[in-house]
């Protein structure tokens, strides 16, 4: 059957004569779909990690060597348990997921496999590949001209600029520089098309079955899509790297290039609005609407929230995160968050 997210749906029925609450859970396989049909959001009362079979003969997106998908998602902590039967709030987002990091348990879902435009959430993959394949201290010669990218979010690169890969990564993740994405792609792979091929190979390796990338920045393009669940998997992998976490959790920084000085600030609206925020990325295009991946740590437990095609990503995120931390309970002993597990990331 391959990796399929199986979750437990619940129905709460009040029995008038007895005045008690009955909760019935039934295992339902979530359908994968390329449409954006909207279904009712659900909580998952018996959370469990999703798994997938090894598919060693899966062809490469580029026709090269076969891609080996993960057999299971690595976990390092027990799943949280339901503490309240309060249903999740209604939100504007068409699709969303809340994922517990340590157990890989889905705590909330709304059309989690719908294939939608991610906008700049694409840059999470771009940053991960830059860290996996590049040298953050290496100096990059820039040929990208941000002045030709009208209507785009940019860090302000000009041809002839020279700065470190790490500086480009800050320009990618904080102000969401589309110019930085192109400069990184060219520095890592030699060309943007080759880098996009690398993105799709990595997505396949991570088991991102509802994802296909067409560029490294996330501007709307034919064949460029992903899902909320796939983005949660991607972010969970990226956040196991300390170097990625440090960049994703930076709110402001100044980067010095050979030509210009760049004063960069995050676009993440969750900082200052809810405790424990430590990343990750926002995005917007006309097709994608508002998108967000957020990371929040409470009492040693990290959860990721992913929302696609929202008209109020900040309100949606805050409502769902508050609901999640009020509705789920973790073991008394704090789980080990990624920052304590591994400083290099694997």
Q: Give the β-pairing of 277-285 and 106-110.
A: unpaired
Instruction: Give pLDDT tens digits for 162-200.
Output: 999 999 999 999 999 999 999 999 999 999 999 999 999
Distance CA 247, CA 297 (A): 16
pLDDT surpassing 50 at residue 141: yes
The lowest-confidence range among 116-125, 220-229, 274-283, 329-338 is 329-338
CA nearest neighbour of 49 among 15, 20, 73, 82: 73
CB burial of 61-70 (b: ≥16 within 10 Å; e: otherwise) equals beeeeebebb
Domain regions of the chain by residue span: 6-341
> For 6-341, which CATH superfamily applies?
DD-peptidase/beta-lactamase superfamily (3.40.710.10)
By 3-state DSSP, what share of the chain in percent is helix, strand and coil, each rounded to 5?
25, 25, 45
Q: Where are the beta strands (DSSP E) in the chain?
A: 6-15, 20-29, 42-43, 81-82, 95-100, 106-110, 139-141, 162-164, 252-256, 261-265, 277-285, 289-298, 301-310, 328-329
According to the model, what pLDDT value does residue 287 have? 96
**Cβ partners under 8 Å of residue 253, min gap 6:** 170, 174, 264
According to the model, what pLDDT value does residue 61 have? 39
Q: Give the β-pairing of 20-29 and 289-298.
A: unpaired
When comparing pLDDT for 193 and 337, which is higher?
A: 193
Active site residues: 120, 123, 176
According to the model, what pLDDT value does residue 53 have? 26
Residue 239: CA count within 13 A, CB half-sphere: 29
Distance CA 178, CA 147 (A): 11
Helix ranges (DSSP H) in the chain: 123-133, 165-173, 178-189, 192-205, 228-238, 242-248, 313-327, 338-341
Within 10 Å of residue 278's Cβ, how many Cβ atoms? 20
Q: Match 């041809």 to its residue by tokens.
A: 159
Distance CA 173, CA 123 (A): 7
Instruction: Give pLDDT tens digits for 38-63.
Output: 556 665 544 444 433 222 233 433 34
Residue 37: CA count within 13 A, CB half-sphere: 7
pLDDT surpassing 70 at residue 293: yes
Q: Are 52 and 71 in contact (CB under 8 A)?
A: yes
Residue 209: strand, helix, or coil:
coil
> Averaged over 236-253, what is the pLDDT?
97
Q: Are 301 and 337 in contact (CB under 8 A)?
A: yes
Using CA atoms of 218, 221, 224, 227 in order, give the dihedral in degrees to the nearest 10.
70
pLDDT surpassing 50 at residue 301: yes
Residue 187: strand, helix, or coil:
helix
């Amino acid at each position: 059957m391959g990796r399929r997210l199986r979750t437990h749906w619940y129905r709460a029925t009040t029995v008038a004569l007895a005045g008690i609450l009955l909760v019935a859970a039934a295992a339902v396989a979530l359908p994968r779909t390329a449409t954006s049909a909207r279904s009712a959001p659900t909580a998952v009362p018996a959370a469990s990690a999703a798994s997938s079979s090894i598919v060693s003969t899966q062809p490469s997106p580029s026709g090269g060597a076969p891609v080996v998908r993960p057999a299971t998602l690595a976990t390092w902590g027990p799943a949280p348990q339901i503490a309240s039967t309060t249903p999740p709030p209604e939100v504007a987002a068409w699709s969303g997921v809340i994922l517990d990091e340590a157990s890989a348990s889905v705590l909330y879902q709304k059309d989690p496999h719908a294939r939608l435009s991610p906008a700049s959430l694409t840059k999470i993959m771009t940053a991960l590949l830059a860290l996996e394949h590049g040298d953050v201290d290496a100096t990059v010669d820039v040929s990208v001209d941000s002045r030709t990218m009208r209507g785009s979010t940019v860090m302000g690169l000009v041809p002839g600029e020279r700065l470190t890969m790490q500086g480009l990564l800050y320009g990618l993740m904080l102000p969401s520089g589309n110019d930085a994405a192109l400069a990184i792609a060219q520095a890592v792979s030699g060309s943007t098309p080759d880098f996009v091929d690398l993105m799709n190979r990595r997505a396949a390796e991570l088991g991102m079955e509802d994802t296909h990338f067409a560029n490294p920045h996330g501007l709307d393009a034919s064949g460029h899509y992903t899902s909320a669940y796939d983005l949660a998997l991607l972010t969970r992998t990226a956040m196991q790297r300390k170097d990625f976490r440090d960049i994703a959790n930076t709110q402001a920084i100044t980067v010095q290039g050979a030509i210009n000085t760049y004063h960069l600030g995050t676009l993440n609206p969750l900082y200052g609005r809810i405790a424990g925020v430590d990343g990750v990325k926002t995005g917007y295009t006309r097709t994608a609407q508002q998108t967000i991946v957020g990371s929040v740590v409470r009492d040693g437990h990290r959860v990721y929230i992913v929302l696609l095609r929202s008209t109020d990503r900040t309100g949606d995120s805050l409502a769902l995160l508050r609901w999640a931390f009020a509705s789920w309970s973790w073991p008394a002993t704090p789980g080990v968050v990624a920052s304590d597990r591994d400083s290099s990331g694997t």
